[in-house]
Every structure is written in C-alpha cells, then in structure tokens.
Amino acid sequence: MKRRDFLKGTAIAVAGASVPLAALDWIDAREAFAARDDLRWIFLVDTHKCVGCGFCVKACKYENNIPQETNATRTWVERYVMTRDGQVHADSPRGANEGFISRAIDRGTAGPLEIADEDITQAFFVPKLCNQCDLPSCVQVCPVGATYKTPDGVVLVDRTWCIGCGYCVMGCPYGVRFFHPIEHVAEKCNFCYHRIHRGESTACATACPFGARKIGNLRDPDDPVTKVVMTQRVGVLKDAFGTKPQVYYLGLNMEVR
Amino acid sequence: MNNHIWRPLYVVLALVAVILLVRAVYVPKDFGVHGGEGYMYGWYREGNVQEWKEWPSNYRTQSYCAECHFDQTEALVAAGHAAIQCENCHGPALDHPNEPAVLTIDRGRDQCLRCHARLPYPGSDRKHLPGIEPDQHNPGMACVDCHNPHNPSLEDM
Ligand code: SF4
Ligand code: SF4
C-alpha cells in the first residue's frame, strides 16, 4: 500500500465514523413544518390584572412536583415599584410563592426597603415563565439533544437524556432554567404540556383568580388569546436577543427586563 | 509494508467499531432529527413527547370538586370568592376521593394577605381589592376566626 492510499483510507474511515447515524434521516424542513401548522402554543400575561397573589406559583409547584419550600420554581412573579426620584425597585421574594403580603421591597441581605405610598409613581406585577422561544438558545446549546422543541412549539426537557451539564441554564437569556431539586436534571416551565394536550389549561392559568394568565394557539384565528396578540399592543421580553419569545405581555414597559 | 504502520490503523478501526456498536445498543431507535428544523432544534428522542403528555394532572379545578361538594361550590359562586379555585386553599385534588388525607387546607393569615394586604399600586388591579393594613387589623389572628372564606363578607354571614 502506498503512503497516499493509507492516508486516504484512514481519513475516510474516521470521517465516516464521526458522522452520527441520525444525519442520514435528515428531512425536508418545509415538509415537516407544514405537517403541524395547525398548532402553536403561546401564552398571554396581563400585567394590569395581576395582583401579585402568587397562587399561580403555588399551583405550578404542586402540579409539577417541585417542593414548595425550595426557591426553585418554574414560574415566578416580580414586583416593580417606580418612585418619584426615578428609581426602579424590583423584587420577587421566594418567587412570590407566598404572594406579596407586605409593602416592603425585599432586598435580600440589604434588608427590606420601605417606600412611602406618595413616593410611588408606578407599581405593578409581572409574572414570568419560560417563553417557549421560536429560536430557543437553550436548545441550540444542549450538546446531547435532551432539550428540544416539539412541532407545536413547546420546548421540553428529556429527563432520561439530560446529563446535567447546565449549558441550557447559562444559555437561556431569561434565566428561567434551573436544576430540579429532586430529579437533578435541567428543569423549566413547559406550559404544562400534559394538561394542554388534554384540553385543560395550565395549572398557573387555572389557579389565577384574575385571568392574568392565559394559554392559546397562535394558529387558530378564533382563539381569544391569538385575537389579543394580533390586535392589541403586546410586548415580549428581551426582544433584542433574537430568540423570538412566545409569551406575550399586555402593559409591559421599558423597566421590565 | 511494516507492521508498525498497520497497527495504529487497526486500533483506530477497532475503536470506531466499538463506538458504533455501543451507540447502536445504547441510543434508542427514535432518537434523531424530528420536526423539520434540523439539528439545531429538532434533535431528540421522540418518545419523550408522549412521556410528558402522560404526566398526571394534579389540579382538577372547581368543576371536579363540585361533583361531590356542590353545596360548597354553590356558596362560593354566590359570594365574592367565586373566581378562586378550591385547590388554591385546599391543595391539589389528585387522589383526594381515594385518599382524603392528601388535602392540606391552608387556613393561615398569610393566605388571605396574598390579596388583602393593602398595596395601593397605580398600574395594577391590586389597588381595587379590599385591603387591610396587616399590622393594624387584628394582628396575629387568623382571618378565618371571623370571616368564612367561602363567603367572606361579614355583613352577608
Ligand atoms: S425562555 Fe429560555 S428556556 Fe425557555 S425556550 Fe427560551 S431560551 Fe429556552
Ligand atoms: S395568580 Fe394571577 S393575579 Fe395572582 S400572582 Fe399569579 S398571575 Fe398574578
């Protein structure tokens, strides 16, 4: 055998082995996309209606078996208080699992901050959850295919496949990911995927007494949530990151990050 | 040609064969590219979608509770707390009829303060809710000592 043939042979063998077998069943993107164009789950949050009671957070934890006593939570509610001196104070004590029952802003070790009512110019609550992004960076960075996007637009985590490397936790610009305190794998909101496929609403939307949270289907023009998203001034969080989040907010303003 | 040239190649080929063999055994058949968005978004084990769909629903909603506790849900609907799910206070109803003890009723004062601690916030509907100052309105007492949570207005009781 000539030296040249030897090198050629080796190169082919190594290159062939390094192509994952799955590459062979690559399919046409347009074809597959068209297959599920009737369903795309989205979420609508109305920040005017939210009163910061935190029932959504409590319900979510019960529904998805995340211990109430831990700080880990799939969804949480933030409080924003703007004062006359132009400052923005924000907090979310324990994710608002027990709701907002005090006027004082929680600043952790810096101690509570009391703000006089007359100094407040604006104040409201903003529920947060996974945005089930159209171009989810958490999925892009997952090295093993444990985090993925379903054809109906929900990003799921395969618990048997997650190796716990934490790339998705770092990759998500919204900080919605964490490690499950019991399962010890990457965890996040999945729009209660099990519930919405049985025709039920998500646990948080079910528990919310004020209708501040709603799940909808973007591909159904008669869906009440879709109608709001299409006809009203809705915003999304951190649009500049380009992940195309699919949780829409009514009454969002600049101070909310 | 000499052995020392062939030997490394055999080692490499053997390694490759072992890796492919392990992969074929270990990786499930349904692991691959699905959903048409290529490796970037569609690389996963398809069976997992079904696994998530089979997760139980712990929250059963008011209509489920009404099947047995119609008197209570009726009273609730007539009073100011109609919008509140039974399970917000009584805990998730899954398994409740079979195992009555699983319900953990939250009668604490803080449970009521979630909405009724007065927060006069412009920009939020919280300011419209009837509110108290927790440190002035019977501090230390449980709200349920005076108010019936199913029909909380004292006038209507
Ligand atoms: S919000 Fe974060 S975790 Fe959720 S889909 Fe987007 S990037 Fe992923
Ligand atoms: S349950 Fe509704 S009103 Fe209460 S904090 Fe959650 S979203 Fe806001």
Higher pLDDT among residues A31 and B55, named by residue = B55
Please say if the pLDDT value at position A101 is more than 50: yes
Q: Are A128 and A213 in contact (CB under 8 A)?
A: no
Owning domain of residue A241: 3-11+18-44+130-250
Whether the CB-CB separation of B100 and B93 falls below 8 Å is answered with no
The maximal CA–CA distance of chain B, rounded, in angstroms, is: 103
Question: With bands split at pLDDT 50, 70 and 90, how would you rate the model's confidence at A245?
Answer: very high
Could you say which ligand is closest to the alpha carbon of residue A101?
Answer: 2
B139 touching chain A per CB within 8 A = no
Domain count, chain A: 1
pLDDT at A10: 56
How many angstroms is it from B75 CA to the middle of ligand 2? Answer: 23
Distance CA B107, CA A200 (A): 28
Q: Between chains, do A6 and B9 touch, taking CB under 8 Å as contact?
A: yes
Q: What is the mean pLDDT of residues A87-104?
A: 96
Q: Which two tokens stand for residue B154?
A: 């004292």
The residue-averaged pLDDT of B28-54 equals 93
B83 and chain A in contact, CB less than 8 A: yes
The whole-number pLDDT of residue B104 equals: 81
CATH number, position A137: 3.30.70.20
- Report the Cα B60 to chain-centroid distance in Å: 12
Measured from the Cβ of residue A169, the count of other Cβ atoms closer than 10 Å reads: 18
With a cut of 70, say whether residue A94 has pLDDT above it.
yes
pLDDT at A27: 40
Least confident piece of the model among A33-42, A197-206, B109-118:
A33-42
Eight-class DSSP state of A98: T
Measured in angstroms, how far is the CA atom of residue A174 from the centroid of ligand 1?
Answer: 7
Residue A179 lies in a domain: yes
Which amino acid belongs to residue A90? A
For residue A134 the two structure tokens come to: 């159209």
A157 φ, ψ (degrees, to nearest 5): -115, 125
Check residue A145 and report its DSSP letter.
S
The residue with tokens 């500049």 is A240
Q: How confident is the model at residue A29 (pLDDT cuts 50, 70, 90)?
A: very low
Contacts of B121 in chain A (CB under 8 A): 81, 120, 123-124
Q: Is the dihedral of CA A102, A107, A109, A113 positive or negative?
A: negative
**pTM, entire model:** 0.87
How far is B157 from B152, CA to CA, in rounded Å? 8
Distance in angstroms (rounded) separating the CA atoms of residues A43 and A205: 10
Strand-pair category, A76-83 with A120-128: antiparallel
* Residue at A100 is within a domain: no
What is the tens place of the pLDDT at every residue in A225-243?
999 999 999 999 999 999 9
**Ligand located closest to A170 CA:** 1
Whether the complex's predicted ipTM is more than 0.90 is answered with: no
A60 found inside a domain: no
Pairing of strands A76-83, A88-91: antiparallel
Q: Is residue A61 part of a domain?
A: no
Tell me whether residue A246 is in a domain. Answer: yes
Tell me what pLDDT residue B131 has.
94
Asked whether A114 and A89 are in contact (CB, 8 A), the reply is no
Proportion of chain A above pLDDT 90, given as a percent: 83
Q: Nearest Cβ partner of B49 from A30, A145, A150?
A: A150
Select the more confidently predicted residue: A5 or B107.
B107
Mutate-to-test residue for ligand 2 from A48, A55, A189, A214, highest number of ligand atoms within 8 A of CB: A55
- Indicate yes or no: CB of A101 within 8 angstroms of CB of B33: no
Relative to the alpha carbon of A186, which ligand is closest?
1
Q: If you search the block for the tokens 């289907």, which residue do you land on?
A: A217
Residue B157 has pLDDT above 90, yes or no: no
pLDDT tier, A12 (very low <50, low <70, confident <90, very high otherwise):
low
**Of residues A5, A9, A139, the one with CA closest to residue B43:** A139
pLDDT recorded at residue A236: 96
- What is the DSSP secondary-structure string of A181-198? TTT-SEE---TTHHHHTT
A25 versus B29: the higher-pLDDT residue is B29
Which of A75-84, A165-174, B26-35, B44-53 is the least confident region? Answer: B26-35
Note whether residue A122 is domain-resident: no
A178-225 pLDDT per residue, tens: 999 999 999 999 999 999 999 999 999 999 999 999 999 999 999 999
Question: Closest ligand 2 atom to the C-alpha of A49?
Answer: 3
Q: Which amino acid is at B25?
A: V
A245 within domain boundaries: yes
Q: Both tokens of residue A173?
A: 């610009």
According to the model, what pLDDT value does residue A133 have? Answer: 97
Task: Please provide the average confidence, as pLDDT, over all residues in chain A.
Answer: 90
Number of C-beta neighbours around residue A247 at 10 A: 24
Interface of B with A in 2-21 (CB under 8 A): 5, 9, 12-13, 16, 19-20
> Mind listing the pLDDT tens digit for each residue in A124-152?
999 999 999 999 999 999 999 999 999 99
Q: Is residue A136 a part of any domain in this protein? A: yes
Q: How far is the CA of A221 from the centre of ligand 1 (A)?
A: 25
The tally of CA atoms less than 13 A away on the side-chain side of residue B106 is 18
Check residue A1 and give its pLDDT.
Answer: 53
The Cα A137–Cα A243 span in angstroms is 7
Residue among A48, A65, A51, A113 nearest A87 (CA): A113
Token pair, residue A159, equals: 């618990």
